[in-house]
Homo-oligomer: A and B are copies of this chain.
């Protein structure tokens, strides 16, 4: 008798196997996925990480995937969440859509009723009552790379592999419907031996050759090129190529807000000119980027908040955009010339050296790092916070910032080497950061329990997803949770309705949250003044991530990073336009 395994176990073995290598599966149990969840235990080294609700589970999977991508061995990231039919999966959609928008690889596995129940069109709970069992998959199709369903044994392993592959290769979510009757269907154990094919499609040769020729030509004719590293460079595993390009050419380079905290790209590099956000950049960064006569853009996501409301104003039209699935030179698009392969070919091209032989790197004028003397007894400000944070962060920290004052303020902070930045700048769903922190801290601590995960979230955003603090307590994670207490939705007050009731929230006792959620080894701190902040940032005990901590930062309602004030004005204009 040949040895067999269940299709349910096959799925989780595949997700745990190298090169995917998941150790945690997120989600919420529901009666159509319970028997499937049993199979997680059968996989050595794989853990179920139950979240408090499905939206948070999707955010957690997103955070986990980003860390796998950033800290891994060079492969892209992936994560998986399991929800139940209808009620569970729909609650996760906003989180899945965020992963789609921001290029995060994850597999959304949904336990659905048995094929027999579906064929009988039973009026089961968790249905719309209309006998249509396919409607939720159709909804997910809008926000996923692909959807799959396990109809029968003959296609089960191929369909599972396809959903994992598509998520990984495209760094987008995929959707896999798993009927209850398929969980225990037996298949040969040898099915696991064939490695998952995770290779990227090959570039179109003719197009690629033309791209390489044109790019090298533009490089050789340029006097002062700049490399702009954006989010998809990290998401699609091209930061080593970016680093090599910087080192080989000595071109100056900038990061975008979404790329801040990308692996291999260090802010202390001599050639780093700063974070480029169009008109919201520091003046010397803006000048350094926009005065260039060639822009090599890697993995651009040209969204409003990533570009200072579309305020890029290059003085040149010599712009090359390398994307995960196409390349653009000036106005010409080259489909199927993928960034990773073409960059590697350019880097290996003997003509690159030739092309840069006359290039003379100019000295980089760095913006003076904002530093000022402030009265220690004076009230904490965002301005002080984000600069002072630079002194406390250390090599390898993960810094997660919520959409709001945090995601704008963090641009002021100088990141240490190997820092990982997580922020949902394009999708911008408030509350995301708390769920993402839950997934990120699990991934980071899987790599090394000493890895610190540091969350900055406003009191308003926290309210959307607060219960995920409980999951971090449950799994004994040790994140730092900085809560910016500014009495409501400050980012919205800046855009519109400064005194409107709808921008206020119910005030909470943040110092009691960890205890209420059953936390035992916990620390709560409240920071009122500059001195309070300096105290924790200089404390060796506080620097050790040996417990879960809430640090409540008491801030004035309208205190905001300067770049957010400007962005809010631009946003208000777009909204009314």
Select from chain B the residue with minimum beta-carbon distance to A507. B518
A 170-181 binary contact with B (CB < 8 Å = 1; else 0): 000000000011
Interface set, chain A 472-506, CB cutoff 8 A to B: 473-474, 489, 491-492, 495-497, 500-506
Whether B512 contacts A516 by the Cβ 8 Å rule is yes
Whether A516 contacts B518 by the Cβ 8 Å rule is no
Whether B48 contacts A496 by the Cβ 8 Å rule is no
- The CA-CA distance from A426 to B130 in the complex, in Å, is 11
Select from chain B the residue with minimum beta-carbon distance to A504. B50
Whether B127 contacts A101 by the Cβ 8 Å rule is yes
- The CA-CA distance from A129 to B97 in the complex, in Å, is 11
Whether B37 contacts A502 by the Cβ 8 Å rule is yes
A374 contacts B by Cβ under 8 Å: no
A546 contacts B by Cβ under 8 Å: no
- The CA-CA distance from A142 to B142 in the complex, in Å, is 12
A35 contact from B37, B86, B496, Cβ within 8 A: B496
Select from chain B the residue with minimum beta-carbon distance to A132. B142
Whether A31 contacts B495 by the Cβ 8 Å rule is yes
A516 contact from B136, B310, B516, Cβ within 8 A: B516
**Among the listed stretches A63-71, A287-295, A568-576, which one makes contact with chain B, having 4 or more residues with CB under 8 Å of it?**
A568-576
- The CA-CA distance from A554 to B310 in the complex, in Å, is 57
A463 contacts B by Cβ under 8 Å: yes
Chain B residues with Cβ below 8 Å from A52 are: 463-464, 505-506
A344 contacts B by Cβ under 8 Å: no
Whether B497 contacts A37 by the Cβ 8 Å rule is yes
- The CA-CA distance from A471 to B496 in the complex, in Å, is 22
Chain B residues with Cβ below 8 Å from A302 are: 123
Given known pairs A508-B516, A518-B506, the reply for A489 and B577 (CB within 8 Å) is no
A32, A91, A464, A503: most-surrounded residue (chain B CB, <10 A): A91
Interface set, chain A 131-167, CB cutoff 8 A to B: 135-136, 138-139, 142-143
Whether B97 contacts A86 by the Cβ 8 Å rule is yes
A561 to chain B, nearest CB (A): 17
A351 contacts B by Cβ under 8 Å: no
Select from chain B the residue with minimum beta-carbon distance to A40. B502
A93 contacts B by Cβ under 8 Å: yes
Chain B residues with Cβ below 8 Å from A522 are: none
Chain B residues with Cβ below 8 Å from A439 are: none
Chain B residues with Cβ below 8 Å from A507 are: 518
Whether A91 contacts B128 by the Cβ 8 Å rule is no
- The CA-CA distance from A516 to B506 in the complex, in Å, is 11
Whether A497 contacts B135 by the Cβ 8 Å rule is no
- The CA-CA distance from A183 to B310 in the complex, in Å, is 24
A125 contact from B139, B181, B304, B466, Cβ within 8 A: B304
Interface set, chain A 18-62, CB cutoff 8 A to B: 28-32, 34-35, 37-38, 40-41, 48, 50, 52-55
**What are 12 sample pairs from A and B whose C-beta atoms fall under 8 A apart?**
A28-B464, A31-B492, A31-B496, A34-B575, A52-B464, A90-B143, A91-B429, A114-B574, A117-B577, A126-B428, A180-B575, A508-B517
Given contacts A90-B93, A513-B516, 18 further A-B contacts (CB under 8 A): A31-B571, A34-B492, A34-B496, A35-B576, A37-B500, A91-B91, A93-B94, A117-B575, A125-B425, A125-B428, A138-B142, A180-B576, A181-B577, A467-B467, A508-B516, A509-B517, A509-B518, A512-B515
